[in-house]
Amino acid sequence: MTQRVEGLDVFVCDGKVDIPNVYSAGAVQSRFLIELRDNKRIVGMRCPACNVVYVPPRSTCKYCFGQLDEWTDVSDKGTLLTYTVVCRPNPVQPVEPPIVYGIVQLDGADTGLLHMIGEADFESLRVGMRVEAVYREERKGDILDIKHFRPLR
């Protein structure tokens, strides 16, 4: 498309620019991911004032705004609080649809962890069902080191 702007020709080219970037997980999330990768262990942060255990961990309590530095182990088993089924493909999804995403409250945690639910047919899913983490064989240090959560057997 060519336009005249104050005597100048302006050329507009539609295109796409990919900008590669590196994301730093920060100190708290890095330790969380390292524990997943190296030990297949899920850890959280406990607020000493509120006694709330956050998974995934965070550095500040959302209730009292206190600094968190008390690490605690939580179970890799928990309760499915809610879920949704995604049927449309999206380039950022880690697997092909349909994908079930759920919020899992792990035993020992007070917050929910968003992750995929696998090894279950849609009809068998229920809010309140017990699930357990399934880990990737080769872990890389990212949240997908937990391959998915599956119904507890």
Q: What is the 3-state secondary structure (H, E, C) of 35-94?
A: HHHHHCCEEEEECCCCCCEECCCCCECCCCCCECCEEEEECCEEEEEEEEEECCCCCCCC
pLDDT at 5: 60
Band (41; pLDDT cuts 50, 70, 90): very high
- As a whole number of angstroms, the distance between CA 93 and CA 99 comes to 9
- For residue 106, the cross-strand partners are 78
CATH fit for domain 21-151, picks 3.50.30.40, 2.40.50.840, 2.40.10.170, 3.30.429.10: 2.40.50.840
For all residues of the chain together, what is the average pLDDT?
92
Res. 24: pLDDT tops 60: yes
| Model confidence, pTM | 0.83
pLDDT at 131: 98
Map tokens 């507009």 to a residue.
Answer: 12
Give tens-digit pLDDT for 117-138. 999 998 999 999 999 999 999 9
Band (56; pLDDT cuts 50, 70, 90): very high
pLDDT at 86: 95
Which residue type, as a one-letter code, is found at position 11? Answer: F
Percent of the chain with pLDDT over 70: 94
Res. 88: pLDDT tops 90: yes
- Where on the phi/psi map is residue 77: left (φ > 0), alpha (ψ -120 to 50), or beta? beta
- The answer to whether 91 and 122 have CB atoms below 8 angstroms apart is no
Res. 3: pLDDT tops 70: no
pLDDT at 99: 95
Q: Which of 99, 106, 101 is nearest to 130 (CA)?
A: 106
pLDDT at 15: 82
pLDDT at 23: 78
27 burial via Cβ count (<10 Å: 0-12, 13-18, 19+): exposed
pLDDT at 30: 95
